Structure 1
Amino acid sequence: MKSGKIIRIENDLIIIKIISDNSIIEIHRSNFTFVPNVGDSIEIFKNDDETIVTKMDQESETSNMNEHDDGINIDSNGNMYTDEPEFNGKKVVNKFMYCILAIFFGGLGLHKFYCRKKEIGLLYLALFWTGIPWAISIIDFIIALTKKADSNGNILI
């Protein structure tokens, strides 16, 4: 059994952050015994051929949060989540903030620092005087602008 928290819902795929090792997994909606919502604390029961996901009761959820309360944040809906959520190597960022940083400060790489891609941000900063990072940041802006945001206004970069 593993415990986790639902961090994103995409059609029939539910994206879950496992508390014990901070990994991210996807589980199909049909494996849930309840209607999932972002922020729900869950327990995952898995064997060779079946996965079942149940919602944690309030008492288990409270004790579980107390055990792993390092890096916990609260979003605008009051849901708790851990710091720096990641999915397939991509970072979860606020779409509006990323776009603002990309269009106004993209040549300096601030949007890359915002999505915790420090090496690329430093490269943008080192080459800002050439104008190349400014042009690339406009492309970054357009790409981010066309991505569909989740219910919290977040996208994967």
Structure 2
Amino acid sequence: MTKGKIIKITEEIITIGMDNGTIKEVRRCDLDFTPKLEDLVDVFEDKDQIIVTRRKETSNAANGGININMTNSVHTGEYVATEGKKVVNKIAYCLFAFLLGSFGAQYFYSRKFGKAIACVLFFWTGIPCIIGVVVAILALIKPADPNGNILV
């Protein structure tokens, strides 16, 4: 058994950074749980199969210690594990969708340029306007993180 942390998730492949410094790629079907980025895992491997399980560890905070989470990376506004979703400010996204949804402003803001161009091409039909209102309502009911951002 070796220990590791999930560092990348794609449609079929889960990339695990092992404690010994190596990287192991496993198929999603080799996991007995729904993977999330930075899950701690145990990897059981023989020459025929690989089984990955989520590690069950007690935190220092539960034992009376201090639990400090620190990262030393630049936030780019884009998460690898979200499979095409973007991080945007909730208020700005909702205003763009509600006020300028017929021109696809919310899609330009969230860097989804294919949808944005389609809205611009078909704004005269009124369909992008309806979609903009619906998207604004859906974004309003999504819970925001402490910074006021949502995934779209």
TM-score range, shorter chain: 0.5 to 0.7
Conserved 8 A contact 1:43-1:56: no
2:78 is the counterpart of 1:84: yes
Q: Point out where structure 2 has 5 or more consecutive residues left out of the alignment.
A: 8-15, 18-22, 24-34, 44-50, 60-66
- Return the offset for 1:56: 9.3
Q: In the alignment, what sits opposite 1:144?
A: 139
Structure 1 unpaired stretches of 5+: 5-17, 28-41, 66-71, 73-80
CA contact (8 A) 2:88 2:151 kept: yes
Larger radius of gyration: 2
Q: Secondary structure at the match of 1:90?
A: coil
Q: Does the Cα contact within 8 Å between 1:107 and 1:134 map onto a contact in 2?
A: yes
Q: Secondary structure at the match of 1:102?
A: helix
Matching of residues 63-78 of structure 1 within 5 Å: 65=73, 72=74
> Per residue, is there more strand in 1 or in 2?
1
| Residues 93 and 109, structure 2, Cα contact 8 Å, conserved in 1 | yes
Match 2:128 to one of 128, 133, 137: 133
Q: 1:138 to 1:126 in 2, by over 3 A?
A: same
> Do the aligned residues in 2 keep the contact of 1:102 with 1:138 (CA within 8 Å)?
yes
- 1:52-102 Cα offsets, whole Å, 9 max, x none, are 4899997xx65xx4xxxxxx2xxxxxxxx2342251432222111100111
Deviations 1:80-137 (A, max 9, x none): x234225143222211110011111111101011112110100001111222211211
Select which of 13, 16, 26 maps to 2:36: 26
42-51 or 137-146: bigger deviation: 42-51
Q: After TM superposition, where is structure 1 displaced by more than 3 Å over at least 4 residues in a row?
A: 1-4, 42-46, 48-58
Taking structure 1 as reference, are residues 112 and 43 closer, same or farther at Cα in structure 2, changes over 3 Å only? closer
Give the aligned CA root-mean-square deviation in angstroms.
3.4
SS for the counterpart of 1:155 is strand
Identity %: 35
Q: For residue 64 of structure 2, what is the aligned residue in structure 1?
A: none
Q: TM-score, normalised by structure 1?
A: 0.53
Aligned to 1:37: none
Counterpart residue identity of residue 100, structure 1: L
- Aligned counterpart, 2:111: 116
Cα distance in structure 2, aligned partners of 1:133 and 1:153? 25
Equivalent residue for 2:48? none
Q: Partner of 2:143: helix, strand, or coil?
A: coil
Cα distance in 2 for partners of 1:112, 1:148 equals 19
Relative to structure 1, the CA distance from residue 127 to residue 151 in structure 2 (aligned partners, 3 Å threshold; closer, same or farther) is same
Match of 2:90 in 1: 95
